[in-house]
């Protein structure tokens, strides 16, 4: 019977346990959105997890939507990430970079030349964005032209190559949480009339082209993908999420990916909203390694693995606040409480100063 402490093989990755660090935006990058030595220490502290999924990293300048998020599109950013991967590997860990484009979840003040953010369709998302100085309403984005999409696909492949050059063991394509690839998937944000809009197959086309290109660039055994079937993050809805994601997962099978990472529920700090969805259907359809993510604790994670619902479990806030979560789980030790006020600010405070058991 599989449990959290059993080893696993995910593509080319040999994992010593099935505890995965979920991707967590922390907004600690330096000037030029370059990863810093402080970030290297943060990830090094958590290297006992079977696999670290890094915070989301924009694939291009247009992909940014928040201040101080580390990119993977300049030589300086690649060099900064190299410090991070070296620190993780020296501590015996494995780390994958999450490839990100926020799409419409941005603002002209965060875009090159103060251009409009891009999206599948010119539909303004609800809410506001923090620009680094103030909160601003989202704007109506510019709909991407059909002939721009091959270049976007190429950007993902290039970013994947940059990640491997920076020492990452693998990459995860971020296709969830209301960002660009998810915006293409959803009926509420994709009103296109070309081959990338309309039917579920058309709306999934860009994601599948990105996945194929990234696999060709770095090898499918180094590639995973994040999906979030029912999240309403960033104003997304779909008229048939069950059918849509069953289609997507079935189409991913021939790629022979290292893993599929599924966010259960809606995500976010509050886990009060659970939208009905048959995750067991995705488990039955998908032939590869499945990571489940969101609101697990030790007991529920073990139960999910024992029941065969997943091959690994990802932890976000628990690993944020407990760098030695693996050892705490093993010993049944008490856990630190996350400091929500420092999730996205504070430099070392609330970032690298959570005490370990040895302290």
The reply to whether 349 falls in a domain is no
pTM: 0.96
The reply to whether 209 falls in a domain is yes
The model's pLDDT over 94-145, given as tens digits with 9 standing for 90+, comes to: 999 999 999 999 999 999 999 999 999 999 999 998 888 889 999 999 999 9
The reply to whether 357 falls in a domain is no
> Which pLDDT value is given to residue 269?
47
Tell me the residue range of the domain where 100 lies: 8-342
> Which pLDDT value is given to residue 126?
93
The reply to whether 140 falls in a domain is yes
The reply to whether 95 falls in a domain is yes
The model's pLDDT over 6-48, given as tens digits with 9 standing for 90+, comes to: 999 999 999 999 999 999 999 999 999 999 999 999 999 999 9
The reply to whether 286 falls in a domain is yes
Q: Which residues of 130-167 are buried (b: 16+ CB within 10 A; e: fewer)?
A: ebeeeeeebbebebbeeeebeebbebbbbbbebbbebb
Total count of domains within the chain: 1
Region 254-274 average pLDDT: 78
> Which pLDDT value is given to residue 341?
95
Q: Tokens 């670290």 belong to which residue?
A: 52
- Cβ neighbors of 178 (< 8 A, separation 6 or more) are 105, 125, 228, 231, 232, 233, 234, 235, 236
Question: Can you give the CATH number for the domain in which 303 is found?
Answer: 3.20.20.70
The reply to whether 348 falls in a domain is no
The reply to whether 107 falls in a domain is yes
Q: Is 179 a catalytic residue?
A: yes
> Which pLDDT value is given to residue 1?
66
Could you say which of 138, 156, 179, 298 is catalytic? 179
The model's pLDDT over 315-338, given as tens digits with 9 standing for 90+, comes to: 999 999 999 999 999 999 999 999
CA-CA distance, 181 to 275, in Å (whole number)?
21
Lowest mean pLDDT among 158-172, 197-211, 262-276: 262-276
């Amino acid at each position: 019977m599989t449990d959290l402490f059993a080893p696993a093989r995910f593509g080319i990755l040999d994992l010593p346990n099935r505890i995965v660090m979920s991707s967590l935006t922390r907004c600690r990058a330096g000037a030029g959105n370059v990863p810093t030595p402080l970030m290297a220490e943060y990830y090094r502290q958590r290297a006992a997890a079977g696999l670290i999924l890094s915070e989301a990293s924009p694939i291009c300048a247009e992909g940014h939507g928040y201040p101080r998020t580390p990119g993977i599109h300049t030589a300086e950013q690649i060099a900064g990430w190299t410090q991070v991967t070296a620190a993780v590997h020296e501590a015996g860990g494995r780390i994958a970079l999450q490839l990100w484009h926020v799409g419409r979840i941005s603002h002209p003040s965060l875009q090159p030349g103060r251009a409009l953010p891009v999206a599948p369709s010119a539909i303004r998302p609800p809410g506001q964005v923090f620009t680094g100085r103030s909160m601003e309403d989202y704007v109506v984005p510019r709909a991407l032209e059909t002939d721009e999409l091959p270049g976007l696909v190429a950007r993902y492949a290039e970013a994947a190559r940059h990640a491997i050059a920076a020492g990452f063991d693998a990459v995860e394509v971020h296709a969830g949480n209301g960002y660009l690839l998810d915006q293409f998937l959803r009926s509420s944000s994709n009103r296109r009339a070309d081959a990338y809009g309309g039917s579920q197959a058309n709306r999934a086309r860009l994601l599948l082209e990105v996945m194929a290109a990234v696999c060709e660039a770095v090898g499918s055994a180094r590639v995973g993908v994040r999906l979030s079937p029912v999240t309403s993050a960033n104003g997304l809805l779909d008229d048939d999420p069950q059918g849509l994601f069953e289609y997507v997962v079935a189409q991913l099978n021939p790629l022979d990916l290292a893993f599929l990472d599924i966010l259960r529920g809606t995500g976010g700090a509050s886990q009060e909203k659970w939208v009905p969805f048959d995750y067991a259907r995705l488990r039955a359809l998908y032939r590869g390694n499945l990571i489940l993510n969101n609101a697990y604790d030790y007991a529920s994670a073990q139960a999910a693995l024992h029941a065969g619902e997943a091959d690994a479990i990802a932890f976000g806030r628990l690993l944020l606040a407990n760098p030695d979560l693996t050892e705490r789980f093993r010993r049944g030790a008490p856990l630190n409480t996350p400091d929500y006020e420092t999730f996205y600010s504070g430099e070392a405070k609330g970032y690298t100063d959570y005490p370990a058991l040895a302290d």
